[in-house]
Amino acid sequence: MPDAAPRPEPFTPQTAPAALEDLRARLRATRWPDAPEDAGWSLGTDLDYLRELVAYWAEEFDWPAQEAALARLPRFRVRLGGLGIHFAHVRAAAPAGPALPLVLSHGWPDSFWRYAKVIPLLTDPGAHGADPADAFDVVVPDVPGYGYSDRPTGPPLNSIAVAGLWAELMDVLGYERFGAAGGDIGSHVSRYLGLDHPDRVVAVHRMDGGLPVFTGDPADLTPEERAWFEEVTAWGAAEGAYAAMHRTKPQTAAFGLTDSPVGLAAWIVEKLRSWSDCDGDIERCFTKDEILTNVTLYWLTGTIGSSMRMYHANAAIPPEQHARRVEVPSGFSLFRGDIVRPPRKWLERVANVVRVTEPARGGHFAPFEEPELYAEELRAFFRPYRAVATD
């Protein structure tokens, strides 16, 4: 007999009190490093800020309340490719017409958390001052090794493999055709959905063009592209140490970050601040509760090591894969505060570009920083492709 089709099962995690007591004990027993006077954030995470955040984490942060808030999203797990995949699946609320299925892919250092604020705006636009005809059925999976999805026990999966899983997930959920969107690693995953499943993906929306890989003659690049390549190189020299560690020796860092919640917070918080549109004040973009919800998800699921290993897998993707051009309609929202924003010429080189916008607010985590603005970007981009998905 053939194997039964995968069947999603409802999923509502509830953290054991002992796990939270262990976390608090570790926080209270932190052995703090020194820091040069007035170093601030110039050498990495600011010591004074992290002390303040950790004191709140240990004494005031209410994880059960945050866990309950996330549980208001309909969430499931299903077995695909030998792995348990966790995902939120929220259907459109009384759409005016057929709802467009949309799979949203997150990046690092986050999980389905990235889209928690924007999901209601996409599934029920009429309740938020937008056109009910723009409603989506939204699917937000955790990449394997992130959040509540299983950690691969063998080689880590790359973005190509994850795109294949998402295509299978959408099939399991009954969606023959759908849109794809994402940022960071999720931008790569969305790209490969468009490349490898063009018969199913009606359009792809991305928040970035990824870091450039070009195997042709540099003389063929435009001046704008060459300037961007130089900008990316300079950014890598100043800010890319974390990625070099992830690509090369992620397991070494995983020991400390899995054992120390403060080390984990330092690794993540510095990126939330430097990649968001907060002008140096992280709490302009994220409250302490929001920061700690993201970090606590990593802590309780023990996924910092497995999440970093995906960089190692992606670094091994052959150059010819990077050279492929996405031919399905592609749109890009390049938010003001994001890192290494590509010129349009580069985007047109790598994709069938039909729309590029530069929103005036928001950064790398725009779905969380500016959910209303991000939701409008998706509504506007996907509007012409709704009929295509239901043909």
Say which amino acid occupies 106: H
Distance of alpha carbon 328 from alpha carbon 201, whole angstroms: 7
In the set 124, 184, 277, 338, the catalytic residue is 184
The Cα diameter of the chain in Å comes to 69
**208 within 8 A of 185, measured Cβ to Cβ:** no
Alpha carbon separation from 375 to 16, 104, 119, 120, 122 (Å, rounded): 35, 12, 8, 9, 6
In the set 137, 205, 364, 385, the catalytic residue is 364
273 forms beta bridges with none
Cα 228 → chain centroid:
23
Residue 224 in tokens: 């704008």
φ/ψ of residue 138, rounded to 5: -110, 130
Residue 102 CB partners (closer than 8 Å, separation 6+): 122, 136, 137, 138, 139, 178, 179, 180, 181, 378, 382
Cα 3 → chain centroid:
32
In the annotation, is 364 catalytic?
Answer: yes
Using the structure block, give the residue that is written with the tokens 């009606």. Answer: 202
In the set 311, 338, 374, 385, the catalytic residue is 311
Using the structure block, give the residue that is written with the tokens 């063929």. Answer: 220
Give catalytic residues, as residue numbers: 184, 311, 364
